Amino acid sequence: MTNKKILEIKNLHVEVDGKEILKGINLTLDVGKVNALMGPNGSGKSTLVNTIMGHPKYKITKGKIIFGGKDVTNFTPDKRAKLGIFLSFQYPREISGVSVSKFLKATSKEINPNFSLFEFKKKLKENSELVEIPNEMTERYLNDGFSGGEKKKNEILQMLMLDPKLVMLDETDSGLDVDSLKTVAKGVNALMNNKKCIFIITHYKRILEYIKPDKIFIMLNGKIVLDGDGKLADELEEKGYGWIEED
Ligand code: ADP
Ligand code: MG
C-alpha cells in the first residue's frame, strides 16, 4: 500500500515568547487533497503554518511534524522548502534592493539542483502570465509599493516557480477583489495534482468556491476541535463559531 499521508502532526505544542499558543495539535493531511483551516482570530492558525515552515520564533515544546515520512521537527526552513513545503505569508514582506525576478532566480536555484536559466525564464514568463503579473513588475523590488492584491499574486507566482508539494496559504484571499481572487485560485488550481496537497487558511467560504476543499478543519484556542467536508464552510458562514464545543 502506498503512503497517502503527506503531513502528520502529532501532539504539537508551541510557545511564542513563553506563552503556549498551540496546545496539542493532531492533524493528518493526505496527498492529492485540498484542505482548509478555519477558526476565529487569534486561535493559532498562523502559528501552526509558521511552525510547519520552521519559523524560529515559534518554539516547539512537545510533539512532532512528519513530512513525507521524514521527521522534520528540527529542520531549518530552507531544508523544509527544499523538501517541498511552501508558505504564502499572511503579510508578505517588502524587500527593497532585490527584484522579484532576482529573488525568484535565487530561490529556484536553491530548490532545484538541475536549475537552468533558459527553463527559469520560460517558466517565469508562463507563470507571470497565468497570475496576471506584468513583466515590468517582476523587475521591481520585491513587494515594494505593491498593492495588497499584487503582493498576494506575487506569493502565488513564487509558489508556481518553486513547484512545492505542500502549499500552505495563510489568508491569501483576505482583502482581495473578486478578479484577484479568481487569479489566485487559477494559479493554485494550475499547480494542484494528485501528488500535491493544499492547506488554505481562510475566514471566508468565497475562496472555497474556486478551490474546492475535500476537508475543513476548525481551530479554536490552539486546538483542532472539529473537521468535516466542504459543507462545514456554509455552516460556519451561517452560524459562526459559537456552537462548536472546545473539547
Ligand atoms: P490566527 O492566525 O489564528 O489569527 P495567530 O497564530 O496569529 O492566530 O495568533 C495566535 C495567538 O498567539 C494570538 O492570541 C496572538 O496574540 C498570540 N501571539 C502571537 N505572537 C505573540 C507574541 N510574540 N507574544 C505573545 N503572544 C503572541
Ligand atoms: Mg493569522
- Rounded Cα distance between 126 and 44, Å, is 36
Domains of the chain as residue ranges with CATH: 5-48+55-239 (3.40.50.300)
What are the b/e assignments for 7-25, b being 16+ CB within 10 Å?
Answer: bbbbebbbbbeeeebbebb
| Confidence band for 191, pLDDT divided at 50, 70 and 90 | very high
| Confidence band for 246, pLDDT divided at 50, 70 and 90 | confident
- Please identify every residue whose CB atom is under 5 Å from ligand 2, which is an ion: 45-46
Q: List alpha helices for the chain, DSSP H.
A: 45-53, 77-83, 100-111, 117-130, 135-138, 148-162, 178-191, 206-210, 231-239
In ligand 1, the atom with minimum distance to the C-alpha of 170 is: 2
Mean pLDDT, residues 179-195 taken together: 97
CA of 171 to the centre of ligand 2 (A): 7
Note the pTM of the prediction, 2 decimals. 0.95
119-128 confidence digits (pLDDT tens): 999 999 999 9
Nearest to 151 by CA among 63, 92, 230, 102: 92
Neighbours of 156 (CB within 10 A): 26
105-164 confidence digits (pLDDT tens): 999 999 988 999 999 999 999 999 999 999 999 999 999 999 999 999 999 999 999 999
Which residue's C-alpha comes closest to atom 6 of ligand 1?
A: 44
Count the alpha carbons within 13 Å of 114 in the hemisphere toward its beta carbon: 1
Which residues form ligand 1's pocket by a CB distance below 6 Å? 16-17, 19, 21, 39, 41-47
